Structure 1
Amino acid sequence: MSAKYNGDFKKDVVYMYIKSAKSYAEIAAEFNISKTSIRD
């Protein structure tokens, strides 16, 4: 079963990816989500 994330959470993750030099793995660990969730 896939997790459901609200819009604000998704925006926070995308913003972090765009504005930082962090990798998918680093952001995934910070938000406790999978790397695939960020990529997709």
Structure 2
Amino acid sequence: MTAEQARQALFQRKANDEMEAWVQEIRSQAFVDERLGSGS
């Protein structure tokens, strides 16, 4: 594995973690909106 490949792999993993965290944030926010009755 080259340094470039390692950097790519690390970036990809970090991006996936960021996406996962973002999705969790959206879900919890939507859940709260639903509970408050302000959901669509």
Length-normalised TM-score, structure 1 = 0.36
* Rg comparison, structure with higher value: 2
Which protein, 1 or 2, shows the higher relative CO under an 8 Å CA cutoff with sep ≥ 6? 1
Q: Which has the higher helix share?
A: 2
Length-normalised TM-score, structure 2 = 0.36
